[in-house]
Structure 1
Amino acid sequence: MKKVIIADDEKAGRVLIKEYLEDYPELVLISEVNNGVDAITEINKFKPDLVFLDIQMPGKTGFEVLKHLEEIPKIIFSTAYDEYALKAFEVHAVDYLLKPYTKDRFNLAVERLNTENDKLGSLAQSILMEEPSYPHRVLVNHNKKLITIKCEDIIWIEAYGDYSKIHTESQVYLSNYGITDLEEKLNPKLFLRVHRSSIINMEKVKELNKYGKSYDVTMENGQIVRVSRGYMEAIKRITL
Protein backbone atom coordinates (compact mmCIF):
# COMPACT_ATOMS: atom_id res chain seq x y z
CA MET A 1 0.00 0.00 0.00
CA LYS A 2 1.20 3.50 -0.86
CA LYS A 3 -0.23 6.60 0.79
CA VAL A 4 -1.40 9.37 -1.56
CA ILE A 5 -2.25 13.04 -1.08
CA ILE A 6 -3.88 15.30 -3.69
CA ALA A 7 -3.13 19.04 -3.59
CA ASP A 8 -5.14 20.96 -6.19
CA ASP A 9 -7.18 24.15 -5.81
CA GLU A 10 -9.71 23.00 -8.43
CA LYS A 11 -12.38 20.65 -7.08
CA ALA A 12 -12.91 19.18 -10.56
CA GLY A 13 -9.21 18.35 -10.74
CA ARG A 14 -9.28 16.53 -7.40
CA VAL A 15 -12.42 14.62 -8.34
CA LEU A 16 -10.88 13.45 -11.62
CA ILE A 17 -7.70 12.19 -9.96
CA LYS A 18 -9.76 10.30 -7.37
CA GLU A 19 -11.80 8.72 -10.14
CA TYR A 20 -8.67 7.60 -11.99
CA LEU A 21 -7.12 6.27 -8.77
CA GLU A 22 -9.98 3.80 -8.40
CA ASP A 23 -8.11 1.51 -10.79
CA TYR A 24 -5.14 1.41 -8.40
CA PRO A 25 -6.20 -0.13 -5.05
CA GLU A 26 -2.56 -0.10 -3.92
CA LEU A 27 -2.62 3.72 -4.02
CA VAL A 28 -4.67 4.81 -1.02
CA LEU A 29 -5.84 8.41 -0.77
CA ILE A 30 -5.36 9.67 2.77
CA SER A 31 -5.94 13.41 2.31
CA GLU A 32 -6.82 16.10 -0.22
CA VAL A 33 -6.25 19.85 0.07
CA ASN A 34 -7.01 22.92 -2.04
CA ASN A 35 -4.11 25.23 -1.15
CA GLY A 36 -0.36 25.22 -0.63
CA VAL A 37 -0.37 25.94 3.10
CA ASP A 38 -2.57 22.95 3.91
CA ALA A 39 -0.51 20.84 1.52
CA ILE A 40 2.61 21.48 3.61
CA THR A 41 0.77 20.60 6.83
CA GLU A 42 -0.78 17.40 5.51
CA ILE A 43 2.34 16.11 3.76
CA ASN A 44 4.53 16.69 6.82
CA LYS A 45 1.89 15.06 9.01
CA PHE A 46 1.14 11.92 6.99
CA LYS A 47 4.46 11.40 5.14
CA PRO A 48 2.78 10.11 1.97
CA ASP A 49 4.54 8.03 -0.67
CA LEU A 50 3.04 10.02 -3.54
CA VAL A 51 1.58 13.50 -3.98
CA PHE A 52 -0.40 14.77 -6.96
CA LEU A 53 0.62 18.41 -6.80
CA ASP A 54 -0.80 21.43 -8.60
CA ILE A 55 1.58 24.34 -9.19
CA GLN A 56 -0.57 27.48 -9.05
CA MET A 57 -2.40 27.28 -5.72
CA PRO A 58 -3.48 29.83 -3.09
CA GLY A 59 -1.07 30.32 -0.20
CA LYS A 60 1.97 28.54 -1.64
CA THR A 61 2.84 27.34 -5.12
CA GLY A 62 3.69 23.69 -5.66
CA PHE A 63 7.40 24.51 -5.77
CA GLU A 64 7.15 26.52 -2.54
CA VAL A 65 5.42 23.58 -0.90
CA LEU A 66 8.42 21.37 -1.68
CA LYS A 67 10.77 23.79 0.10
CA HIS A 68 8.84 23.36 3.36
CA LEU A 69 8.66 19.57 3.47
CA GLU A 70 10.51 17.49 6.03
CA GLU A 71 10.70 14.58 3.58
CA ILE A 72 10.16 14.76 -0.18
CA PRO A 73 7.72 12.11 -1.46
CA LYS A 74 7.35 11.11 -5.07
CA ILE A 75 5.66 13.96 -6.93
CA ILE A 76 3.40 13.92 -9.96
CA PHE A 77 2.63 17.48 -10.96
CA SER A 78 -0.89 18.11 -12.29
CA THR A 79 -1.22 21.57 -13.79
CA ALA A 80 -2.58 23.66 -16.66
CA TYR A 81 0.76 25.44 -17.14
CA ASP A 82 3.35 23.87 -19.45
CA GLU A 83 6.11 26.43 -18.77
CA TYR A 84 7.13 24.73 -15.49
CA ALA A 85 7.85 21.28 -16.95
CA LEU A 86 11.65 21.54 -16.97
CA LYS A 87 11.71 23.04 -13.48
CA ALA A 88 9.50 20.18 -12.29
CA PHE A 89 12.05 17.61 -13.36
CA GLU A 90 14.85 19.59 -11.76
CA VAL A 91 13.17 18.67 -8.46
CA HIS A 92 12.98 15.02 -9.62
CA ALA A 93 9.25 14.86 -10.28
CA VAL A 94 7.99 11.48 -11.45
CA ASP A 95 5.84 13.04 -14.15
CA TYR A 96 4.17 16.24 -15.28
CA LEU A 97 0.47 15.94 -16.18
CA LEU A 98 -0.57 18.85 -18.33
CA LYS A 99 -4.29 19.61 -17.96
CA PRO A 100 -6.47 18.57 -19.63
CA TYR A 101 -5.17 15.01 -19.66
CA THR A 102 -6.80 11.68 -20.45
CA LYS A 103 -7.04 8.56 -18.34
CA ASP A 104 -4.44 6.90 -20.56
CA ARG A 105 -2.02 9.76 -19.84
CA PHE A 106 -2.74 9.45 -16.11
CA ASN A 107 -2.05 5.71 -16.28
CA LEU A 108 1.28 6.39 -17.94
CA ALA A 109 2.23 8.72 -15.09
CA VAL A 110 1.46 6.02 -12.53
CA GLU A 111 3.53 3.52 -14.52
CA ARG A 112 6.44 5.95 -14.32
CA LEU A 113 6.50 5.83 -10.52
CA ASN A 114 9.51 3.51 -10.72
CA THR A 115 11.35 5.55 -13.34
CA GLU A 116 14.97 6.10 -12.38
CA ASN A 117 15.91 9.72 -11.71
CA ASP A 118 18.70 9.73 -14.30
CA LYS A 119 16.09 9.14 -16.99
CA LEU A 120 13.94 12.08 -16.02
CA GLY A 121 15.75 14.68 -18.11
CA SER A 122 14.87 12.98 -21.37
CA LEU A 123 11.42 12.29 -19.99
CA ALA A 124 10.89 16.01 -19.45
CA GLN A 125 11.87 16.76 -23.02
CA SER A 126 9.53 14.08 -24.37
CA ILE A 127 6.62 15.49 -22.38
CA LEU A 128 7.24 18.98 -23.70
CA MET A 129 7.10 17.57 -27.23
CA GLU A 130 3.91 15.58 -26.67
CA GLU A 131 0.87 16.39 -28.73
CA PRO A 132 -1.82 18.04 -26.60
CA SER A 133 -4.20 15.49 -25.15
CA TYR A 134 -7.86 16.21 -24.70
CA PRO A 135 -10.30 14.54 -22.33
CA HIS A 136 -12.82 11.98 -23.54
CA ARG A 137 -15.10 12.91 -20.62
CA VAL A 138 -15.93 16.08 -18.70
CA LEU A 139 -17.22 16.61 -15.17
CA VAL A 140 -20.60 18.31 -14.82
CA ASN A 141 -23.08 19.05 -12.04
CA HIS A 142 -26.14 16.82 -11.84
CA ASN A 143 -28.53 16.44 -8.90
CA LYS A 144 -26.11 18.11 -6.48
CA LYS A 145 -23.20 15.85 -7.42
CA LEU A 146 -20.47 15.71 -10.06
CA ILE A 147 -20.79 13.12 -12.81
CA THR A 148 -18.86 12.52 -16.03
CA ILE A 149 -20.31 12.64 -19.53
CA LYS A 150 -18.64 11.60 -22.78
CA CYS A 151 -17.43 14.51 -24.91
CA GLU A 152 -18.82 12.74 -27.97
CA ASP A 153 -22.32 13.07 -26.44
CA ILE A 154 -22.08 16.86 -26.22
CA ILE A 155 -24.18 18.55 -28.92
CA TRP A 156 -23.38 22.15 -28.10
CA ILE A 157 -22.28 24.36 -25.23
CA GLU A 158 -23.97 27.58 -24.16
CA ALA A 159 -22.45 30.35 -22.03
CA TYR A 160 -24.33 30.83 -18.74
CA GLY A 161 -22.77 33.73 -16.85
CA ASP A 162 -19.51 32.49 -15.34
CA TYR A 163 -20.62 28.91 -16.02
CA SER A 164 -21.72 26.91 -19.07
CA LYS A 165 -24.69 24.78 -20.04
CA ILE A 166 -23.77 21.57 -21.84
CA HIS A 167 -26.50 20.27 -24.14
CA THR A 168 -26.76 16.54 -24.89
CA GLU A 169 -29.52 14.57 -26.58
CA SER A 170 -31.31 13.81 -23.32
CA GLN A 171 -30.15 16.38 -20.77
CA VAL A 172 -28.76 19.86 -20.16
CA TYR A 173 -25.93 19.92 -17.62
CA LEU A 174 -24.26 22.77 -15.78
CA SER A 175 -20.47 23.04 -15.90
CA ASN A 176 -18.45 25.02 -13.36
CA TYR A 177 -16.17 26.13 -16.20
CA GLY A 178 -16.84 29.23 -18.29
CA ILE A 179 -17.21 28.77 -22.03
CA THR A 180 -13.69 30.04 -22.79
CA ASP A 181 -12.19 27.57 -20.30
CA LEU A 182 -14.13 24.73 -21.94
CA GLU A 183 -13.00 25.84 -25.39
CA GLU A 184 -9.38 25.52 -24.23
CA LYS A 185 -9.93 22.08 -22.71
CA LEU A 186 -11.89 20.44 -25.54
CA ASN A 187 -10.48 18.99 -28.75
CA PRO A 188 -10.54 21.78 -31.40
CA LYS A 189 -10.83 19.12 -34.11
CA LEU A 190 -14.26 18.30 -32.72
CA PHE A 191 -15.55 21.46 -31.04
CA LEU A 192 -15.90 24.81 -32.79
CA ARG A 193 -16.58 28.23 -31.25
CA VAL A 194 -19.18 29.97 -33.45
CA HIS A 195 -20.28 32.74 -31.10
CA ARG A 196 -18.94 34.31 -27.93
CA SER A 197 -21.73 32.38 -26.19
CA SER A 198 -21.71 29.13 -28.20
CA ILE A 199 -19.52 26.13 -29.03
CA ILE A 200 -20.80 23.38 -31.32
CA ASN A 201 -19.81 19.75 -31.79
CA MET A 202 -19.06 19.61 -35.52
CA GLU A 203 -20.11 15.97 -35.67
CA LYS A 204 -23.57 16.89 -34.34
CA VAL A 205 -24.40 19.52 -37.01
CA LYS A 206 -27.54 18.69 -39.00
CA GLU A 207 -27.58 21.62 -41.40
CA LEU A 208 -26.42 25.19 -42.00
CA ASN A 209 -28.91 27.87 -42.99
CA LYS A 210 -27.46 30.99 -44.59
CA TYR A 211 -29.19 34.31 -44.25
CA GLY A 212 -27.58 37.47 -45.52
CA LYS A 213 -23.92 37.29 -44.58
CA SER A 214 -24.32 34.92 -41.65
CA TYR A 215 -25.51 31.42 -40.75
CA ASP A 216 -27.70 29.55 -38.32
CA VAL A 217 -26.55 26.05 -37.39
CA THR A 218 -29.23 23.44 -36.79
CA MET A 219 -27.96 20.72 -34.46
CA GLU A 220 -29.04 17.09 -34.36
CA ASN A 221 -31.37 17.75 -31.43
CA GLY A 222 -33.20 20.43 -33.44
CA GLN A 223 -31.77 23.38 -31.56
CA ILE A 224 -30.53 26.34 -33.59
CA VAL A 225 -27.23 28.03 -32.80
CA ARG A 226 -26.42 31.45 -34.25
CA VAL A 227 -23.04 32.09 -35.88
CA SER A 228 -21.83 35.60 -35.09
CA ARG A 229 -19.92 37.70 -37.63
CA GLY A 230 -16.75 37.49 -35.59
CA TYR A 231 -16.68 33.72 -36.03
CA MET A 232 -17.67 33.53 -39.69
CA GLU A 233 -14.17 32.46 -40.68
CA ALA A 234 -14.45 29.50 -38.31
CA ILE A 235 -17.58 28.18 -39.98
CA LYS A 236 -15.58 27.50 -43.12
CA ARG A 237 -14.14 24.50 -41.30
CA ILE A 238 -17.43 22.66 -41.76
CA THR A 239 -18.31 23.93 -45.24
CA LEU A 240 -16.97 22.75 -48.58
Structure 2
Amino acid sequence: MTVTALIVDDESPMRDQLRARLAEVWPELGIAGEAANGIEAMEMTARLKPDIVFLDIRMPGPSGIETARQLYSQSHVVFVTAYDQYAVEAFEHGAMDYLLKPVAADRLRLTCDRLRQRIGKPPADIDQKLAALAQILERGQGAKPQQYLRWIQAQVGTSLRMISTKEILFFQSDDKYTLVQTASAELLIRKTLKELADELDPDEFWRIHRSTLVRVDAIVEVTRDDRGRQMVKLRNHPRELEVSRNHASRFQQM
Protein backbone atom coordinates (compact mmCIF):
# COMPACT_ATOMS: atom_id res chain seq x y z
CA MET A 1 0.00 0.00 0.00
CA THR A 2 1.34 3.41 -0.98
CA VAL A 3 1.36 5.92 1.86
CA THR A 4 0.09 9.33 0.69
CA ALA A 5 0.42 12.88 2.01
CA LEU A 6 -1.15 16.28 1.47
CA ILE A 7 1.04 19.41 1.72
CA VAL A 8 -0.74 22.54 2.96
CA ASP A 9 0.97 25.96 2.87
CA ASP A 10 -0.14 29.31 1.50
CA GLU A 11 3.32 29.89 -0.03
CA SER A 12 4.08 27.87 -3.15
CA PRO A 13 7.89 27.95 -2.66
CA MET A 14 7.49 26.41 0.79
CA ARG A 15 5.33 23.63 -0.64
CA ASP A 16 7.98 22.99 -3.29
CA GLN A 17 10.73 22.94 -0.68
CA LEU A 18 8.92 20.46 1.55
CA ARG A 19 8.02 18.24 -1.42
CA ALA A 20 11.71 18.14 -2.41
CA ARG A 21 12.83 17.35 1.14
CA LEU A 22 10.25 14.56 1.45
CA ALA A 23 11.48 13.07 -1.83
CA GLU A 24 14.95 12.89 -0.27
CA VAL A 25 14.03 11.29 3.05
CA TRP A 26 10.97 9.23 2.03
CA PRO A 27 11.02 8.66 -1.75
CA GLU A 28 8.21 6.07 -1.56
CA LEU A 29 5.78 8.60 -0.09
CA GLY A 30 3.12 9.63 -2.59
CA ILE A 31 2.12 13.30 -2.62
CA ALA A 32 -1.64 13.18 -3.16
CA GLY A 33 -1.95 16.92 -3.61
CA GLU A 34 -1.19 20.43 -2.39
CA ALA A 35 -3.48 23.00 -0.78
CA ALA A 36 -2.96 26.72 -0.21
CA ASN A 37 -5.36 27.22 2.71
CA GLY A 38 -7.39 25.43 5.36
CA ILE A 39 -10.60 25.27 3.33
CA GLU A 40 -8.80 23.58 0.43
CA ALA A 41 -7.05 21.26 2.91
CA MET A 42 -10.36 20.09 4.42
CA GLU A 43 -11.95 19.56 1.00
CA MET A 44 -8.94 17.69 -0.39
CA THR A 45 -8.56 15.55 2.73
CA ALA A 46 -12.18 14.44 2.46
CA ARG A 47 -11.77 13.66 -1.25
CA LEU A 48 -8.23 12.23 -1.40
CA LYS A 49 -8.06 10.67 2.10
CA PRO A 50 -4.30 11.15 2.56
CA ASP A 51 -2.59 9.23 5.35
CA ILE A 52 -0.63 12.34 6.39
CA VAL A 53 -1.26 16.08 6.22
CA PHE A 54 1.76 18.41 6.48
CA LEU A 55 0.06 21.59 7.65
CA ASP A 56 1.22 25.20 7.93
CA ILE A 57 -0.21 27.17 10.89
CA ARG A 58 -0.40 30.79 9.73
CA MET A 59 -2.60 30.91 6.61
CA PRO A 60 -5.39 33.12 5.25
CA GLY A 61 -8.82 31.95 6.38
CA PRO A 62 -8.91 29.07 8.86
CA SER A 63 -5.54 28.75 10.61
CA GLY A 64 -3.64 25.49 10.73
CA ILE A 65 -4.80 24.99 14.32
CA GLU A 66 -8.45 25.43 13.29
CA THR A 67 -7.96 23.16 10.30
CA ALA A 68 -6.30 20.46 12.41
CA ARG A 69 -9.41 20.25 14.59
CA GLN A 70 -11.25 18.96 11.52
CA LEU A 71 -8.49 16.75 10.13
CA TYR A 72 -6.74 14.97 12.98
CA SER A 73 -9.34 12.18 13.19
CA GLN A 74 -8.97 11.51 9.44
CA SER A 75 -5.21 11.81 8.88
CA HIS A 76 -1.98 12.05 10.82
CA VAL A 77 -1.25 15.79 11.11
CA VAL A 78 2.28 17.24 11.14
CA PHE A 79 2.64 21.00 11.59
CA VAL A 80 5.30 22.78 9.55
CA THR A 81 5.70 26.41 10.59
CA ALA A 82 8.14 29.25 11.13
CA TYR A 83 6.68 29.97 14.58
CA ASP A 84 7.45 27.68 17.51
CA GLN A 85 5.19 29.36 20.08
CA TYR A 86 2.33 27.13 18.87
CA ALA A 87 3.96 23.84 19.93
CA VAL A 88 1.74 22.93 22.89
CA GLU A 89 -1.44 24.08 21.15
CA ALA A 90 -0.49 22.01 18.09
CA PHE A 91 -0.28 18.85 20.19
CA GLU A 92 -3.54 19.73 21.94
CA HIS A 93 -5.28 19.74 18.56
CA GLY A 94 -3.99 16.40 17.38
CA ALA A 95 -0.65 17.05 15.68
CA MET A 96 1.54 13.97 15.63
CA ASP A 97 4.68 16.06 15.21
CA TYR A 98 5.87 19.62 14.80
CA LEU A 99 8.52 20.92 12.39
CA LEU A 100 10.07 24.37 12.22
CA LYS A 101 10.87 26.09 8.93
CA PRO A 102 13.31 25.86 7.29
CA VAL A 103 12.89 22.11 7.77
CA ALA A 104 16.17 20.31 8.39
CA ALA A 105 16.58 16.98 6.59
CA ASP A 106 17.62 15.12 9.75
CA ARG A 107 14.60 16.40 11.67
CA LEU A 108 12.24 15.56 8.81
CA ARG A 109 13.74 12.06 8.58
CA LEU A 110 12.96 11.52 12.27
CA THR A 111 9.37 12.65 11.71
CA CYS A 112 9.00 10.31 8.75
CA ASP A 113 10.32 7.41 10.83
CA ARG A 114 7.65 8.18 13.45
CA LEU A 115 4.98 8.39 10.77
CA ARG A 116 5.90 5.00 9.33
CA GLN A 117 5.31 3.49 12.76
CA ARG A 118 1.91 5.21 13.11
CA ILE A 119 0.43 4.60 9.63
CA GLY A 120 -2.55 2.27 9.85
CA LYS A 121 -3.10 3.01 13.53
CA PRO A 122 -5.72 5.44 14.89
CA PRO A 123 -4.55 8.88 16.05
CA ALA A 124 -2.91 8.69 19.47
CA ASP A 125 -4.81 9.91 22.50
CA ILE A 126 -4.21 13.65 22.89
CA ASP A 127 -3.30 13.24 26.56
CA GLN A 128 -0.58 10.84 25.47
CA LYS A 129 0.68 13.41 22.98
CA LEU A 130 0.94 16.09 25.66
CA ALA A 131 2.69 13.69 28.02
CA ALA A 132 5.20 12.85 25.28
CA LEU A 133 5.76 16.54 24.59
CA ALA A 134 6.38 17.20 28.30
CA GLN A 135 9.01 14.44 28.37
CA ILE A 136 10.76 15.92 25.34
CA LEU A 137 10.84 19.37 26.93
CA GLU A 138 12.12 17.97 30.23
CA ARG A 139 14.99 16.27 28.41
CA GLY A 140 15.87 19.59 26.83
CA GLN A 141 15.30 18.33 23.29
CA GLY A 142 12.36 20.59 22.58
CA ALA A 143 12.81 24.23 21.74
CA LYS A 144 11.57 26.72 24.28
CA PRO A 145 8.62 28.49 22.68
CA GLN A 146 9.70 31.73 21.05
CA GLN A 147 7.41 34.66 20.54
CA TYR A 148 9.13 36.34 17.64
CA LEU A 149 9.87 35.77 13.99
CA ARG A 150 13.40 34.50 13.36
CA TRP A 151 13.44 33.95 9.58
CA ILE A 152 12.16 35.85 6.56
CA GLN A 153 11.30 33.97 3.38
CA ALA A 154 11.99 35.83 0.12
CA GLN A 155 11.46 34.62 -3.44
CA VAL A 156 14.58 35.09 -5.60
CA GLY A 157 13.81 33.94 -9.15
CA THR A 158 12.70 30.34 -8.83
CA SER A 159 14.42 29.88 -5.47
CA LEU A 160 13.34 30.60 -1.91
CA ARG A 161 15.90 32.38 0.23
CA MET A 162 15.77 32.11 4.02
CA ILE A 163 17.11 35.25 5.72
CA SER A 164 17.86 35.37 9.42
CA THR A 165 16.38 38.45 11.08
CA LYS A 166 19.85 39.05 12.54
CA GLU A 167 21.09 39.87 9.01
CA ILE A 168 18.41 42.46 8.29
CA LEU A 169 19.18 46.17 8.60
CA PHE A 170 15.71 47.51 7.90
CA PHE A 171 12.32 46.86 6.29
CA GLN A 172 10.60 49.48 4.15
CA SER A 173 7.17 49.10 2.58
CA ASP A 174 5.08 50.51 -0.23
CA ASP A 175 1.52 49.61 -1.24
CA LYS A 176 2.25 46.09 -2.52
CA TYR A 177 5.67 44.95 -1.32
CA THR A 178 8.07 45.27 1.58
CA LEU A 179 11.76 45.82 0.94
CA VAL A 180 14.12 43.68 3.04
CA GLN A 181 17.58 45.24 3.26
CA THR A 182 20.66 43.38 4.47
CA ALA A 183 24.28 44.55 4.28
CA SER A 184 24.70 42.75 0.95
CA ALA A 185 21.27 42.29 -0.58
CA GLU A 186 17.94 43.95 -1.29
CA LEU A 187 14.89 41.67 -1.57
CA LEU A 188 11.12 42.05 -1.81
CA ILE A 189 8.46 40.18 0.15
CA ARG A 190 4.65 40.38 0.26
CA LYS A 191 4.33 40.43 4.06
CA THR A 192 3.07 43.81 5.25
CA LEU A 193 4.94 46.06 7.64
CA LYS A 194 2.10 45.74 10.15
CA GLU A 195 2.46 41.94 10.13
CA LEU A 196 6.20 42.27 10.59
CA ALA A 197 5.82 44.76 13.43
CA ASP A 198 3.51 42.30 15.22
CA GLU A 199 5.82 39.32 14.67
CA LEU A 200 9.30 40.79 15.25
CA ASP A 201 10.90 41.38 18.66
CA PRO A 202 10.14 45.04 19.52
CA ASP A 203 13.43 45.26 21.42
CA GLU A 204 15.31 44.34 18.23
CA PHE A 205 13.30 46.21 15.60
CA TRP A 206 11.92 49.72 16.05
CA ARG A 207 9.29 51.38 13.93
CA ILE A 208 10.68 54.79 13.07
CA HIS A 209 8.21 55.69 10.32
CA ARG A 210 4.86 54.33 9.14
CA SER A 211 6.77 52.66 6.29
CA THR A 212 10.03 51.73 8.06
CA LEU A 213 11.23 49.20 10.65
CA VAL A 214 14.91 49.33 11.55
CA ARG A 215 17.12 46.92 13.46
CA VAL A 216 18.22 48.75 16.61
CA ASP A 217 21.78 47.45 16.73
CA ALA A 218 22.30 48.51 13.08
CA ILE A 219 21.88 52.18 14.08
CA VAL A 220 25.18 54.05 14.26
CA GLU A 221 23.83 57.52 15.03
CA VAL A 222 20.82 59.79 14.66
CA THR A 223 21.35 63.27 13.25
CA ARG A 224 19.20 66.17 12.07
CA ASP A 225 19.24 67.35 8.47
CA ASP A 226 18.93 70.96 7.32
CA ARG A 227 15.13 70.68 7.51
CA GLY A 228 15.24 69.60 11.14
CA ARG A 229 14.26 65.99 10.45
CA GLN A 230 15.80 63.19 12.47
CA MET A 231 17.77 60.83 10.21
CA VAL A 232 19.08 57.41 11.18
CA LYS A 233 22.52 56.37 9.94
CA LEU A 234 23.17 52.66 9.64
CA ARG A 235 26.16 50.39 9.98
CA ASN A 236 27.33 48.83 6.70
CA HIS A 237 24.86 50.76 4.58
CA PRO A 238 25.02 54.26 3.06
CA ARG A 239 21.31 55.03 3.15
CA GLU A 240 19.85 57.30 5.84
CA LEU A 241 16.33 56.67 7.10
CA GLU A 242 13.89 59.36 8.15
CA VAL A 243 12.30 59.27 11.62
CA SER A 244 8.72 60.55 11.46
CA ARG A 245 7.34 62.93 14.08
CA ASN A 246 5.05 60.21 15.42
CA HIS A 247 8.09 58.09 16.26
CA ALA A 248 10.54 60.83 17.24
CA SER A 249 10.11 59.95 20.92
CA ARG A 250 12.42 57.01 20.27
CA PHE A 251 15.23 59.56 20.28
CA GLN A 252 14.02 62.17 22.76
CA GLN A 253 17.48 63.20 23.95
CA MET A 254 18.34 64.75 20.59
Aligned CA RMSD, in angstroms, stands at 4.3
1:130 aligns with 2:145: yes
Q: In structure 2, do the counterparts of structure 1 residues 141 and 112 end up closer, same or farther at CA, with 3 Å as the change threshold?
A: closer
TM-score of the superposed pair, with normalisation by structure 2: 0.65
* TM alignment of 1:18-97, pairs within 5 A: 18=19, 21=21, 25-26=25-26, 28=29, 30=31, 31-44=33-46, 46-54=48-56, 58=61, 62-63=67-68, 65-66=70-71, 72-78=74-80, 86=89, 88-95=90-97
CA shift at 1:25, angstroms?
1.4
- Name the aligned partner's letter for residue 7 of structure 2: I
TM-score of the superposed pair, with normalisation by structure 1: 0.68
Whether the 8 Å CA contact 2:45–2:71 is kept in 1: the answer is no
Gap runs ≥5 in structure 2: 119-123
Moved more, 155-164 or 77-86: 77-86
Q: In structure 2, do the counterparts of structure 1 residues 8 and 233 end up closer, same or farther at CA, with 3 Å as the change threshold?
A: same
Percent identity reads 22
The 1-side partners of 2:176 and 2:110 are apart by 37
Q: Which has the larger radius of gyration?
A: 2
- Name the aligned partner's letter for residue 204 of structure 1: A
Partner of 2:173: 159
The 2-side partners of 1:74 and 1:107 are apart by 20
Whether the 8 Å CA contact 1:85–1:96 is kept in 2: the answer is no
1:215 to 230, 245, 253: 230
Partner of 2:5: 4
1:230 aligns with 2:246: yes
CA shift at 1:164, angstroms?
0.5
- Name the aligned partner's letter for residue 130 of structure 2: G
1:129-188 CA-partner distances (Å, limit 9, x unpaired): 7232532x3222334654333433322111111421112334321111111112233344
Whether the 8 Å CA contact 1:39–1:65 is kept in 2: the answer is no
Aligned to 2:95, the other structure's residue is in SS state coil
The count of aligned residue pairs is: 228
Q: In structure 2, do the counterparts of structure 1 residues 62 and 203 end up closer, same or farther at CA, with 3 Å as the change threshold?
A: same
The 2-side partners of 1:22 and 1:207 are apart by 47
The 1-side partners of 2:238 and 2:217 are apart by 14
CA shift at 1:223, angstroms?
0.5
The 2-side partners of 1:200 and 1:94 are apart by 38
CA shift at 1:224, angstroms?
0.6
